[in-house]
Amino acid sequence: MISDMADIDMVDIDMVDIDMVGMDMADGFRKGLKKENWKTLLQLIKFGLVGVSNTVVSYVLYALIIFLLRGFSWEQDYIFANVVSFTLSIFWSFYWNNKYVFKEEKKGSRKLWRALGKCFLSYGFTGYILENILSFIWIQKLGCSRYIAPIFNLMFSVPVNFLLNKLWAFKDKDA
């Protein structure tokens, strides 16, 4: 029994050592970046997490609408599904980005309705314009599945959305 406890203590010590090495590596990486770059990297990671949840919400709504419209033989059902699912997912994204990713530097420095409007314009550009153009190309010109095309669109829309949100929609100074 005493030897079992010694093994447990050794495992716990090893886990602490591993955690310390990981923390040292993260600290070293963080120290290599300027403070503003570190903040931007963390925002990008958080934005990615919000984006993953937003993508799930948007895609589930998109697929559900496509499924519900399957009996209508409507060739542009994917555009309608994209518009509706994307509009609803903007509210989801705005809430979490405002609360979690692009926090106000100073309380009251951001006008919520103006930020929401800018967020809609940012996402509107990528979601309504860019993604529908890309979906048309993937589906109509390249024969891609209606269910797969939105996944390809992410390669283009995510970086554009991050930059628009960070530098414009959630910017406290003039938001």
| Amino acid 30: pLDDT | 60
Token pair recorded at residue 26:
């993260």
Rounded average pLDDT over 11-15 = 40
**Would you place residue 24 in the very low, low, confident or very high pLDDT band (cuts 50, 70, 90)?**
low
Query: Rounded to an integer, what distance in angstroms lies between the CA atom of residue 175 and that of residue 168?
Result: 7
Token pair recorded at residue 66:
């496509």
Token pair recorded at residue 28:
């070293």
b vs e for 102-117, b when ≥16 Cβ sit within 10 Å of the residue's Cβ? beeeeeeebeeeebbe
Q: Measuring CA to CA, which residue among 58, 60, 56, 33 is closest to residue 44?
A: 33
**Tokens 């309504």 label which residue?**
128
The structural domains of the chain, with segments of one domain joined by +, span 1-32, 34-169
- On the question of pLDDT at 17 being above 80, the answer is no
**Tokens 């993604």 label which residue?**
131
Query: Rounded to an integer, what distance in angstroms lies between the CA atom of residue 144 and that of residue 152?
Result: 10
Helix (H/G/I), strand (E/B), else coil: 173: coil
| Amino acid 76: pLDDT | 82
- On the question of pLDDT at 145 being above 90, the answer is yes
- On the question of pLDDT at 21 being above 60, the answer is no
Count helices and strands (H / E) in the chain: 6, 0
Query: Rounded to an integer, what distance in angstroms lies between the CA atom of residue 14 and that of residue 117?
Result: 51
Helix or strand run (H / E) with residue 71: none
| Amino acid 154: pLDDT | 84
Tell me which of 124 and 139 has the higher pLDDT. Answer: 139
Contact 94, 118 (CB under 8 A): no
Burial (0-12, 13-18, 19+ Cβ within 10 Å), 77: middle
Query: Rounded to an integer, what distance in angstroms lies between the CA atom of residue 78 and that of residue 87?
Result: 14
- On the question of pLDDT at 40 being above 60, the answer is yes
| Amino acid 7: pLDDT | 46
pTM above 0.85, yes or no: no
